[in-house]
């Protein structure tokens, strides 16, 4: 299976293929609106604005699996992101990132980029996966990693 064979659901319910992002560097993040890391949306948006014209996209996937910190509907989440953080990158429909009902995207990512001690499970909101233009090289970053601190790695992926 290839990353770009996976389909995802946008917040409006439309199913799309990740193939439309092939050729771009992707930062895929599981997000939540009521988390201590939620202010990272601001820095994610700044990264998006800085690098988007160079072929960089951010894909946010809200998840309610961590202490119910994403209780809203897809429309409420999208509005929250736009109104509070000026988010213009793609915010998708809520999904599970762990367990039996984990979205195939997160199964793919965690298989290829395990966390500390080679664990596959995502530990918390705002775990980040940086994916190269071909969907081959994947780096995983913890929720504590501030998006601003990822600039060097993003730039390396953009110049490959």
CATH of the domain at 30: 3.40.30.10
pLDDT digits (tens, 9 = 90+) for 58-89: 999 999 999 999 999 999 999 999 999 999 99
Average pLDDT over every residue of 21-37: 97
Residue for token digits 């993003």? 154
Catalytic residue among 35, 63, 81, 95: 35
Q: What is the overall mean pLDDT for the chain?
A: 95
Average pLDDT over every residue of 107-134: 90
CB 104 within 8 A of CB 63: no
**Position 157 pLDDT exceeds 80:** yes
Average pLDDT over every residue of 104-110: 96
Q: What total number of domains does the chain contain?
A: 1
CA 68, chain centre distance (Å): 18
Cα separation, 150 vs 95, in Å, equals: 25
**Residue 49, token pair as written in the block:** 């604005």
Average pLDDT over every residue of 140-154: 96
Full residue range of the structural domain in which residue 19 is found: 3-159
Average pLDDT over every residue of 42-59: 98
Beta pairing, strands 56-62 & 128-131:
unpaired
35 a catalytic residue = yes
């Amino acid at each position: 299976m290839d990353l770009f064979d996976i389909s995802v659901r946008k917040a409006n319910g439309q199913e799309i293929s990740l193939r439309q992002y092939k050729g771009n560097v992707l930062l895929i993040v599981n997000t939540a609106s009521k988390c201590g890391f939620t202010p990272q949306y601001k820095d994610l948006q700044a990264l998006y604005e800085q690098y988007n014209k160079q072929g960089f996209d951010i894909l946010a996937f809200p998840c309610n699996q961590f202490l119910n910190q994403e209780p809203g509907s897809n429309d409420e989440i999208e509005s929250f992101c736009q109104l509070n953080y000026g988010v213009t990158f793609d915010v998708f429909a809520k999904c599970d990132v762990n367990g039996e009902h984990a979205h195939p995207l997160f199964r793919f990512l965690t298989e290829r980029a395990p966390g500390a001690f080679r664990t596959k499970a995502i530990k918390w909101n705002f775990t980040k996966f940086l994916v190269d233009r071909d969907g081959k090289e994947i780096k995983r970053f913890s929720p504590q990693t501030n998006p601003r601190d990822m600039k060097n790695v993003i730039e390396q992926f953009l110049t490959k």
